[in-house]
């Protein structure tokens, strides 16, 4: 994470200096893309797995997720103010300095090698251990996560356009989208904490089920209450979707191979999160309407619910 913070700072500086389109793409694709993989949720989950005993991990993940949820309300308006006062290039340089400050924090103050850590033998350090995927519970759970997160990403990217298409003004839709963002904050903390007492797969499946209802309301959501309910339901559970996967995998996976398993899952999920929004857009273009696409997203989320529950039953 410390290395990723420094890489991100360098990428932002390169972006601030870019004068050609290919330079922008190179900065984001070749530098900032890998930097986000090094600094976002996945390595943070691994750090928590290494630093905290099993009973304390859900609370640690809940605190992390709540703090991350506050970053948008802080940095989005702050970035806008910086751009207005300094211009986008200097504003980007200020943000590069801010992200660089995360490097010493990660390197010096985040504990590692705690009581939960079991280190693999040095001779296997560079050999990925994918043996946990041989367990029957991981296959349906992973497929369910790929489907669920892919549909979730598509909803995030297309929901405003969907309700605009149904006749709502942009100001109305963005108001409810902003309210939905605020509603994520309680769920970011409370739902991972609930997973301390309830089975994590059950809570995760419940989140996907609520998202399926939100998607269903977008199929024919031309009534104001349908739009409002869709955004509210989405917001209540959205923030808990990512941390619940980490809680489940932390219980199922030994610390020595946790990073490998989470990384392999994250790579598969990234394919779903890229492909499903693209498929949603293609369906919209083909039918000149989002109804078919939203029906598909609802079906994918329902399939995700069933697969996650199936994985939970096999874990008993």
- Do both 55 and 192 map to the same domain? no
Per-residue pLDDT at 125 exceeds 80: no
Contacts of 98 (CB under 8 A, 6+ apart): none
Give the pLDDT confidence score for residue 113 in this predicted structure.
57
Per-residue pLDDT at 132 exceeds 90: no
In a domain, residue 119? The reply is no
Domains: count for the chain: 2
Distances (CA, A) of 296 to 74, 144, 214, 276: 34, 15, 13, 10
- Do both 95 and 181 map to the same domain? no
What is the DSSP code string of 203-249?
Answer: HHHHHHHHHHHHHHTTTT--SHHHHHHHHHHHHHHHTTHHHHHHHHH
In a domain, residue 224? The reply is yes
Give the pLDDT confidence score for residue 177 in this predicted structure.
87
- Do both 278 and 218 map to the same domain? yes
Q: Domain boundary residue among 111, 144, 175?
A: 111
In a domain, residue 246? The reply is yes
Stronger pLDDT, 116 or 315, i.e. the higher one:
315
In a domain, residue 125? The reply is no
Question: Cβ-count burial of 111 within 10 angstroms (0-12 exposed, 13-18 middle, 19+ buried)?
Answer: exposed
Give the pLDDT confidence score for residue 134 in this predicted structure.
64
| % of the chain beyond a pLDDT of 90 | 58
- Do both 94 and 223 map to the same domain? no
What's the sign of the alpha-carbon dihedral 132, 298, 272, 187?
A: negative
* 225 vs 232: CA distance, rounded Å: 10
Is the Cβ–Cβ distance between 40 and 6 less than 8 Å?
no
- Domain containing residue 307: CATH number: 1.20.1250.20
In a domain, residue 46? The reply is yes
- Do both 95 and 50 map to the same domain? yes
Tell me the residue range of the domain where 233 lies.
Answer: 132-314
In a domain, residue 89? The reply is yes
Query: What pLDDT, in 10s, does the model give residues 88-111?
Result: 999 999 999 999 999 999 888 877
Query: What pLDDT, in 10s, does the model give residues 153-197?
Result: 999 999 999 999 999 998 898 889 888 888 888 888 888 888 888
- Do both 164 and 292 map to the same domain? yes
- Do both 64 and 144 map to the same domain? no
Q: How confident is the model at residue 112 (pLDDT cuts 50, 70, 90)?
A: low
**Tokens read off for 102:** 């995360």
Q: How confident is the model at residue 316 (pLDDT cuts 50, 70, 90)?
A: low
- Do both 203 and 63 map to the same domain? no
Q: How confident is the model at residue 117 (pLDDT cuts 50, 70, 90)?
A: very low
In a domain, residue 126? The reply is no
Query: What pLDDT, in 10s, does the model give residues 43-82?
Result: 999 989 888 888 889 999 999 988 888 887 888 888 889 9
Tell me the average pLDDT across 106-121.
Answer: 62
- Do both 46 and 177 map to the same domain? no
In a domain, residue 117? The reply is no
Q: Domain boundary residue among 44, 76, 111?
A: 111
- Do both 165 and 302 map to the same domain? yes
Give the pLDDT confidence score for residue 110 in this predicted structure.
76
Q: Domain boundary residue among 46, 79, 111?
A: 111
- Do both 157 and 273 map to the same domain? yes
Per-residue pLDDT at 116 exceeds 50: no
Is the Cβ–Cβ distance between 150 and 23 less than 8 Å?
no
- Do both 94 and 23 map to the same domain? yes
Tell me the average pLDDT across 274-289.
Answer: 95
């Amino acid at each position: 994470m410390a290395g990723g913070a420094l890489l991100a700072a360098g990428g932002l500086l390169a972006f601030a200096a870019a004068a050609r389109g290919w330079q922008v793409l190179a900065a984001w694709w070749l530098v900032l893309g890998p930097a986000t993989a090094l600094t976002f949720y996945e390595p943070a989950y691994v750090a928590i797995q290494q630093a905290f005993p099993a009973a304390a991990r859900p609370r640690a993940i809940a605190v992390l997720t709540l703090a991350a949820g506050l970053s948008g309300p802080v940095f989005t308006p702050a970035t806008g103010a910086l751009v207005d006062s300094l211009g986008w290039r200097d504003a980007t340089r200020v943000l590069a300095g801010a992200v660089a400050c995360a490097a010493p924090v990660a390197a010096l103050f985040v504990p590692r090698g705690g009581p939960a850590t079991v280190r693999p033998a040095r001779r296997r350090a560079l050999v990925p251990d994918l043996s946990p995927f041989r367990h029957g519970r991981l296959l349906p759970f992973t497929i369910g996560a790929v489907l669920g997160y892919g549909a979730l990403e598509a909803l995030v990217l297309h929901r405003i356009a969907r309700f605009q298409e149904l006749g709502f003004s942009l100001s109305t839709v963005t108001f409810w989208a902003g309210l939905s963002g605020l509603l994520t904050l309680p769920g970011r903390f409370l739902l991972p904490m609930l997973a301390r007492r309830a089975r994590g797969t059950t809570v995760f499946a419940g989140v996907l089920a609520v998202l399926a209802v939100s998607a269903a309301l977008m199929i024919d959501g031309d009534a104001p209450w349908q739009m409002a309910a869709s955004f509210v339901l989405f917001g209540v559970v959205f923030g808990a979707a990512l941390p619940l996967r980490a809680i489940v995998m932390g219980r199922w996976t030994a610390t020595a191979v946790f990073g490998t398993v989470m990384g392999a899952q994250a790579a598969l999920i990234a394919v779903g999160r890229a492909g499903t929004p693209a498929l949603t857009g293609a369906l919209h273009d083909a039918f000149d309407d989002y109804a078919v696409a939203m029906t598909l997203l609802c079906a994918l989320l329902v399939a995700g619910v069933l697969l996650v529950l199936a994985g939970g039953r096999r874990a008993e």
